[in-house]
Amino acid sequence: MTRELHLSVALGSAGPRPAAHWTGLVQLAELGALDFVTLDDSLDPADGDGRLDAVAVLAHAAARTSRIGLIPTVTTTHTEPFHTSTALATLDFVSEGRAGWLVDVSITEEAARATGRRDPAPAPELWAEASDAAEVAARLWDSWEDDAEIRDAATGRFIDRDRLHYADFEGPRFSVRGPSIVPRPPQGRPPVAVVLDAQEIDIRWELAARHAEIVLLDADSPAAAREARTELRRRAGRDDLRVLVRVGLAPHAGPPLTGGLDALPDLLAEWHAEAGTDGFHLVTTTPTEELPAVIHDVVPALRAGGLFRATHTGRTLRDHLGLARPDSRYAVRTEAAL
Amino acid sequence: MSASTPAGRKQIHLAAHFPGVNSTTVWRDPDSRSQIDFSSFQHLARTAERGRFDFFFLAEGLRLRERKGRIHDLDVVGRPESLTVLNALAAVTEHLGLAATVNATFNEPFELARRFASLDHLSGGRAAWNIVTSSDAFTGENFRRGGYLDRADRYTRAAEFVEVARALWDSWPSGGTPRTVRHSGPHFDITARATLPHSPQVHPVLIQAGDSDEGREFAARTADIVFSRHGTLEAGRAFHADVKGRLARYGRTPDQLKIMPAATVVLGDSEADAQERAAHIRRQQVSPQTAIATLENVWGRDLTGYDPDGPLPDVEPVPDGELAQGWAHMSDRFGIAARWRALAEEKHLSIRELAIELTARQSFIGTPGSVAAAMDEHVRTDAADGFILVPHLTPGGLDEFVDQVVPLLQERGVLRTEYQGATLRDHLGLGRPEPRPEESA
Ligand SMILES: Cc1cc2nc3c(=O)[nH]c(=O)nc-3n(C[C@H](O)[C@H](O)[C@H](O)COP(=O)(O)O)c2cc1C
């Protein structure tokens, strides 16, 4: 049987259109049974139209959809890690287990001056900090064990505080005590995603190896993609890592599409067979034009080739990607100590 | 004008508080459901919208409370992040205002202004921000700045925070081009262009909760709504007069600031029935363990050996006994303990009965008819402009009120039967804020 591929779409960043516009796009992606959508974001002053907060847009869409994964970009440079962690846990609650997190940093002078808290810093420093933010988020998501709420009338206790844990993170840029104010989210930990370039092994790869379960990969050949995936899994020392190759849908928007949308199904099938990667992340520039074509033309063609599912078979983003729900690290430790 | 119908009845503004982290919620009740699942938030919000409420309200706490160095485990714990829940609720409601409590100490203006503008865009103009200033080193341990602010600095930071946020909200007029906001002050030094054009309300409705002189002054200058604790007729009227009296100083009129105390409602078939239900609820809210904990917060020492149904402890408080973290700070332990002793003696109260008495807030207890009449009286006589209702059950705690009291308020002509406008400002009769033409932060 053919190995199924994972398919997702990047909607760009959210201009200030009515909520129904963005929700409509997410619903369309859900109709195609895609694994997830991503929505870009940044704290840079916007050009053109402006830009809505990505977590906000996807939280809104969450209430009007039921299956598709929702992965907003949240940058770590100027945002409190505690707030990032609680917002994403909440997105996981309101979507009943469909949230992820696309980690990014903010290197621009403009964003630094808009926030006014610190000077711009070099990229390696910011990515090291992003890695710390991902670590803190994971600890906070784990800080409530799944069964911490006990509602024990006899003793008057709502929670078993022995199943709540301090995150106790201390790093060069911040420290966070914990526990979270939000209970453990439905997926345990919403999967972390990061964009990497196959040509350039940089500090981002460390974050990916340590924290990511989804890698969105820029690669200009199937061989390069295959190699990058092998290297990533080697560094990570685990195989719960899904590598999706980024495909620009507009001409010249990015690798590796050349033939227009008509040629896309064949091209994806070819890459999928040769690269051994897990699927594709289709990057739109005008989602209102490109997404309908993806859902109505590309997806059916892939299905006909036995490469893509007909409907969502699971409920959560982890289900779609075949990623197991992790145990709380603290729960594991408690048992080991017994 | 906007506050009255043609018949001249002063209108009641209502908000629904999702009962968060405190001992209000009777989690032992068989009808008590999840405090965290989205379905609970959706149920309460839709109930409030069915009752033609002005808005839905979420409180905030950024660190789990502790007692004796351990996490407090007697009350409901765990709540979602407010703005994210409200953005989701905006998709399943149409008219209801959506208010998030967000601390001005542990956030930055550029980022937060953008998050509120996003909620206002996505909800079509229904966003409100309850600006709180509570801060201490304990909560600060969850944040980059790590620290906290002295009492005196809290409201100066909050005021500067709101000034910068407003400059950002104002700086991109609809159909115009964004201006650059430059601000340099004691707390913030930023240069920024807004990421979003005007939201439907230009900026969210501003709510203030805080009771000190500085807090009231901040409200008079800045807020559209005050969330207060003063709900009884007498205390309400005094608070109302005081805060509204401060408005003229800022060129504002009394109807530009709505005073909405927290209140609870218990209904019954008769007055006696309602009183009995209320007493039962209060005993469930204040368990024996919670009663002891209430006293320990003031005494600053372990009191677990005392009988909750017996008299108050005969020992004195420990002056610096910091038993609890995350509660309001106790400055005068001996004074408080002395007052509590006197009260208990006068009314012959046990520890638990005293705790019940102390944690009481404005409560409308009675038949639907008497409750509707009492609420109307409070508003008519300027003890309040409306109420933020805090149900004791999640999420069905306002069902009875909406089914039984709301129609009576509507019959009285003091509560809308349909929403008239689209935005929360419309519901509150506040008008659109005038964006300031020049960059002024
Ligand atoms: C009715 C009321 C509700 C409040 N709700 C919150 C809240 O949800 N979160 C919070 O951090 N502080 C809350 N506070 C605390 C205030 O923000 C403020 O820090 C505190 O009242 C001290 O300020 P003050 O000295 O002006 O009273 C509330 C205060 C009042 C009076």
- Which atom number of ligand 1 is nearest to the Cα of residue B261? 1
pLDDT at B330 over 80: no
Residue B274: pLDDT over 90: yes
The total of other beta-carbon atoms located within 10 Å of residue B256's CB is: 17
The residue of chain A nearest to residue B184, with distances taken between CA atoms, is A116
The pLDDT tens digits of the residues spanning A83-95 come to: 999 999 999 999 9
Beta strands A149-152 and A157-159, pairing class? antiparallel
**Cα separation of B188 and B161, whole Å?**
8
Ligand 1 in contact with B361 (CB < 6 A)? no
CB atoms A50 and B37 under 8 Å: no
- pTM for the full predicted model: 0.96
B139 lines ligand 1 (CB under 6 A): no
d(CA B341, CA B343): 5
**pLDDT(B440) > 60:** no
Q: Closest Cα partner for A6 from A216, A252, A257, A229? A: A216
The region of weakest confidence among A42-51, A231-240, B110-119, B274-283 is: A42-51
A55 neighbourhood in chain B, CB within 8 Å? 84, 87
Helices B233-245 and B368-380: angle between axes, nearest 10 degrees: 30
| pLDDT above 60: residue B403 | yes
Q: What is the pLDDT of residue A261?
A: 82
CA–CA min distance B245, chain A (Å): 36
- pLDDT of residue A280 exceeding 60, the answer is yes
**pLDDT tens string A223-258:** 999 999 999 999 999 999 999 999 998 765 555 575
Count CB pairs under 8 A between chains A and B.
Answer: 188
B126 Cβ contact partners less than 8 Å away, ≥ 6 residues apart: B55, B90, B95, B96, B97, B98, B119, B120, B201, B423, B424
What's the pLDDT band for A132 if we cut at 50, 70, 90?
very high
Burial of A301 (0-12, 13-18, 19+ CB in 10 A): middle
Question: What is the distance in A from the centroid of ligand 1 to the CA of A121?
Answer: 36
Q: How confident is the model at residue A259 (pLDDT cuts 50, 70, 90)?
A: low
* Contact at CB, A181 and B141, closer than 8 angstroms: no
B85 contacts A18? CB cut-off 8 A? no
pLDDT of residue B15: 98
Structure ipTM: 0.96
Residue B329 — pLDDT band, cuts 50, 70, 90? Answer: low
Residues of B in contact with A149 (CB under 8 A): 77-78
Q: Which residue of B has its CA nearest to A47?
A: B195
pLDDT for B391? 97
Q: Pick the more confident residue, A206 or B147.
A: A206
Residue A274: both structure tokens together: 């040769």
Q: Is B215 in the pocket of ligand 1 (CB under 6 A)?
A: yes
B101 in ligand 1 pocket by Cβ < 6 Å?
Answer: yes
* Weakest mean pLDDT among A283-292, B28-37, B318-327: B318-327
Q: Tell me the C-alpha distance between B318 and B299, whole Å.
A: 6
Which stretch of A240-249, B90-99, B130-139, B290-299 has the lowest confidence by average pLDDT?
B130-139
Which amino acid makes up residue A291? L
